[in-house]
Amino acid sequence: MNDTRGFPPGGTPAGEILDLVRSERSGDLDWRSGRAFSLVYNVDDPDLEALQHEIAGMFLHENALNPFRYITLLRMEAEILAFVRDLFGAGAAALSSGGTESIFLAVLTAREDARSRGVAQPQLLCPTTAHPAFAKACHYLDVELTKLPVGPDGRADPERFADAVSDRTALVVGSAPCYPYGVIDPITDLAAIAAAAGTLCHVDACLGGYLLPFWEELGESVAPWDFRVEGVTSISADLHKYGYSYKGTSTILYRDRDLQQRQLFMYDDWPGGLYASMSAAGTRPGGPIAGAWATITHLGRTGYLRLADRVRTATHGFREAIDSIDLLQVTGDPDLSIFEFGAAPEATLDTDAVGDAMDERGWNLDRQPGGLHVMLSPGHDRVVDTFAADLRASLEEVRGGRVGTGAGLAYGGVVEE
Ligand SMILES: Cc1ncc(COP(=O)(O)O)c(C=O)c1O
């Protein structure tokens, strides 16, 4: 095996490469154990996993840049878009590579729409809890970002939005739910404020999009968040989160087709012929499209409902484990299966140290400034008791004087040489 960090001068046999990777992977996060959160959505369904492996291999090399060359992919993509338009009552839908790209496309559409109204310096209004992808999109697309403080419940404060909205506002943003606290913003109020100002309203349902319809069907109360709310003009919803497909698929949905046209890029001013594209990518890997189609087709409504029920069971179990410990408190009143927990008001507790102690027990809780973060998948319903026991043992260690290292404090990362 090459031991230089320069470009490999010679080849390495496939067997050697696989041996290396297999041994190295033993140190990677083991999401199948049910002890990982947020990075992988563990469906705990061997049939679905086998199907996904098979279909990913079948479409590993196919390119959906020109879908008309791969009729199977074309059909699959068209069917996914029809499935999701039906699920959300959307007028138009497009696939993208992930939540960030869907958010970029929503911001681009809003910027173009604002420019068509003569707005020279478009502005986006969002709560401080909105995902960093909005800041990133504004940065790339030259849109002014205005972040507004949330209320004591962690939800967007409509009064702040009503005060801040102006004729420069291109987009009003709310989340369903937001990542940090798992609460759904008051979308009805935000959308009304946007509509009254003659502008657009985007709901970031990257996290909740493919869970909320089934949560509601299970009989849980769900605050209005989708196209049933007047004034909501676009929604981002990730198939690679609670849609349970593998990485590389999200959807961007519009109330009407005309709005989606602002996202379309058409170009023929070069010698290569007409180039048309609905998203940022040029070459589009076939694997994620095939995977999303196979996943939705395999699960169907009944499958998603069954998995939502498992997520609900896991949520009740984890919440009960945390609520039974006086030192701890869940932040606010989360609407779904995503939440933060930290020190109870009177307690002094180094939650970072609790996270470290849990890490040593094989868990991988995300850290954020207010405490530890949990995002529950269907497979977490199998580990409720171990979580409760390990959490209690970790707290004992911290009460015994253990201090946190700050090692887990990042949500994203950059790879450099
Ligand atoms: C609420 C929300 N929006 C957007 C995103 C971005 O999605 P992605 O990481 O797929 O780009 C995330 C990711 O966790 C999220 O939680």
* Per-domain boundaries in the chain: 51-297, 301-399
Residues flanking ligand 1, CB < 6 Å:
98-100, 131, 133, 175, 178-179, 204, 206-207, 238
Q: Cα(358)–Cα(30) distance, rounded to whole angstroms?
A: 14
Other Cβ atoms less than 10 A from the Cβ of 285: the count is 21
Atom of ligand 1 nearest to the CA of 338: 16
Give Dmax over CA atoms of the chain in angstroms: 71
Give pLDDT, residue 78. Answer: 97
Q: Cα(41)–Cα(19) distance, rounded to whole angstroms?
A: 27
SS (H, E, C) the chain: CCCCCCCCCCCCCHHHHHHHHHHHHCCCCCHHHCCECCCCCCCCCHHHHHHHHHHHHHCCCCECCCHHHCHHHHHHHHHHHHHHHHHHCCCEEEEECCHHHHHHHHHHHHHHHHHHCCCCCCEEEEECCCCHHHHHHHHHHCCEEEEECECCCCCECHHHHHHHCCCCEEEEEEECCCCCCCCCCCHHHHHHHHHHCCCEEEEECCCCCCCHHHHHHCCCCCCCCCCCCCCCCEEEECCCCCCCCCCCCEEEEECCHHHHHHHCEEECCCCCCCEEECCCCCCCEHHHHHHHHHHHHHHHHHHHHHHHHHHHHHHHHHHHHHHCCCCEEECCCCCCCEEEEEECCCCCCCHHHHHHHHHHCCCECEEECCEEEEECCHHHHHCHHHHHHHHHHHHHHHHCCCCCCCCCCCCCCCCCC
C-alpha 99 – ligand 1 centre gap (Å):
5
* Residue whose C-alpha is closest to residue 356's, from 413, 403, 411: 403
Atom of ligand 1 nearest to the CA of 177: 1
Amino acid at 88: F
Phi, psi (rounded to 5 degrees) for 200 = -95, 155
**CATH code of the region 51-297:** 3.40.640.10
* Average pLDDT of every residue of the chain: 95
Ranges of residues in the chain whose predicted pLDDT is under 50:
none
Q: What percentage of the chain has pLDDT greater than the value 70?
A: 98
Give pLDDT, residue 81. Answer: 98
pTM: 0.96
Could you tell me which residues come within 8 angstroms of residue 175 by beta carbon, excluding any fewer than 6 positions away? 127, 129, 130, 131, 156, 184, 185, 203, 204, 205, 207
| Protein residue whose Cα sits closest to atom 7 of ligand 1 | 99
Give pLDDT, residue 38. Answer: 84
Other Cβ atoms less than 10 A from the Cβ of 55: the count is 22
C-alpha 380 – ligand 1 centre gap (Å):
20
Give pLDDT, residue 5. Answer: 79
User: Which listed CATH number (3.10.180.10, 1.10.1040.10, 3.90.1150.10, 3.40.640.10) goes with 301-399?
Assistant: 3.90.1150.10
Q: What pLDDT, in 10s, does the model give residues 302-359?
A: 999 999 999 999 999 999 999 999 999 999 999 999 999 999 998 899 999 999 999 9
C-alpha 28 – ligand 1 centre gap (Å):
22
| Protein residue whose Cα sits closest to atom 5 of ligand 1 | 99
C-alpha 5 – ligand 1 centre gap (Å):
33
Q: What pLDDT, in 10s, does the model give residues 8-19?
A: 999 999 999 999
Atom of ligand 1 nearest to the CA of 240: 10
Give pLDDT, residue 379. Answer: 97
C-alpha 102 – ligand 1 centre gap (Å):
9
C-alpha 182 – ligand 1 centre gap (Å):
12
Give pLDDT, residue 277. Answer: 93
| Protein residue whose Cα sits closest to atom 9 of ligand 1 | 99
Measured over the CA atoms of residue 228, residue 234, residue 236 and residue 237, the dihedral's sign is positive
